[in-house]
Amino acid sequence: MFFKFQDPWFLILFLIIPYLLWQKKEQLAISYSSLKVLQNIRSMQVSFLSNIPLILRLFTISLFILALARPQEGQKKTEILSMGVDIMLALDTSGSMQALDFIKNEKRDTRLAMVKDVVSKFIENRPNDRMGMVVFGSEAYTQCPLTLDQNILQSFLSKLDIGMAGDSTAIGSAIGIAVKRLKDLKSQSKLIILLTDGRNNAGNLAPLQAAQTAKAFGIKIHTVGIGTRGKAPFLVNSVFGQRYVYQEVDIDEETLKEISKITGGQYFRATNLESLKSIYKQIDQMEKSEVKVIDHSEYTELFHFFIIPAIFLLLFENILSNSLLRRIP
């Protein structure tokens, strides 16, 4: 619901009102040797009554001006026709995701914490797509089914924790669960974005076999390998308190590349926070949804609510000026 004036430039005519008041003041100015006599004669009641025609005339002019500006009340409806992309986010929560090789604002944090932040921004940028989430470690399961409700998806994302699905890495199982969620859907495009920092060492389904299944159902898989090249720091407890231990990053890049190649996707490697952000921005640009917005607006003219009272006030002012409040020269 909204209110507007179709021809608002007519409102400039309100400048006439101060001019009319000034003209009235000029007309009342007369030359007289002393005003004391007139002031004693003219009572406040007479002064008020004499100004009624002027007040009515100013109200009438104001209403006519508002009517000329064509006030309108309307309702606007927006219809969004979206050919969206159905996306399953497959996220690794295995024990190795606690590595502290990514830095944000000069502070180290776990890989999973950084991933959650970047993926959250990715979700925000795609309000017209259905998205779901698969979590995997030693096992894989659906953390959130496909939904358009971003708040629900963001809530599930915020609750991800390292080791919640086990400490190993079941890449094949994660793809299999995601494919199961997407395979029967009719959509413009079906996509899995799989992020991991390791190699497949758990589950009963081989990653390449799962990729072949995804290809059969027309599902594309983008894979993201996360972790610095070389050794990554882990914070561990010891008899001397917490200390950093450096371990080799073991990402099976060949398998991840092959998964993407089989399904028509791409493989990306994130070695720091900036490259991780860039990867998800790139995927966002690559997998655009077709969104068509149609606005429907309905207007109701309101000028008659102003012009009819204006006509009655004009007639009333004329009647008063020529009868009860008639001026005698």
* pLDDT tens per residue, range 206-217: 999 999 999 999
Does 34 share its domain with 170?
A: no
Q: Are residues 275 and 313 in the same domain?
A: no
- Rounded Cα–Cα distance for residues 78 and 105 (Å): 41
Regarding whether 124 and 31 lie in a shared domain, the answer is no
Residues 307 and 274 in one domain: no
Strand (E) or helix (H) holding 180: helix 171-182
CA-based end-to-end distance of the chain:
53
Residues 99 and 32 in one domain: no
Where residue 296 falls among pLDDT bands split at 50, 70, 90? low
Q: What is the model's pLDDT at position 293?
A: 57
**Domain range spanning residue 197?**
85-288
Q: 47 with 181, same domain?
A: no
Chain mean pLDDT for the chain:
85
Q: Quick check: is 329 in a domain?
A: no
Domain membership of residue 327 (yes or no) is no
Better-scored residue on pLDDT, 284 or 237: 284
Same domain as 160, residue 106: yes
- Residue 125 located in a structural domain: yes
125 versus 288: the higher-pLDDT residue is 125
The answer to whether residue 95 is domain-embedded is yes
Q: Alpha-carbon torsion 179, 181, 182, 183, what sign?
A: positive
Residues 148, 50 within the same domain: no
Q: Give 77-107 pLDDT, tens digit per residue.
A: 665 555 678 999 999 999 999 999 899 888 8
- Would you say residue 32 has pLDDT above 70? no
Question: Residue 49: which pLDDT band, with cuts at 50, 70 and 90?
Answer: low
pTM of the model as a whole:
0.65
Q: Is the pLDDT reported for residue 43 higher than 60?
A: no
pLDDT given for residue 19 in this prediction: 76
pLDDT at 320: 78
Could you tell me if 282 and 302 lie in one domain?
A: no
Q: Is it the case that residue 231 has pLDDT exceeding 60? A: yes
- Please give the tally of structural domains in the chain: 2
pLDDT of the residue at 234: 84
Average pLDDT over residues 43-52: 63
Answer whether 66's CB lies under 8 Å from 302's CB. no
Q: What is the CATH number of the domain that holds 190?
A: 3.40.50.410
pLDDT, position 192: 97
Least confident span in 9-18, 119-128, 151-160, 259-268: 9-18
Listed in sequence order, the residues at least 6 apart from 316 whose beta carbon sits closer than 8 Å to its beta carbon are 56
- Please give the distance of CA 153 from its chain centroid, rounded to a whole number: 15
Query: Is the dihedral angle over the CA atoms 237, 243, 246, 251 positive or is it negative?
Result: positive
Indicate whether 328 belongs to any domain.
no
pLDDT reading at 274 higher than 70: yes
pLDDT (mean) for 37-51: 58
Residue at 91 is within a domain: yes
Residue 242 maps to a domain = yes
Q: Is residue 62 part of a domain?
A: yes
More confident residue, 237 or 256: 256
Q: What is the mean pLDDT of residues 177-193?
A: 91
Check whether residue 284 and residue 311 sit in a common domain.
Answer: no
Quote the CA–CA distance of 149 and 153 in Å, as a whole number: 7
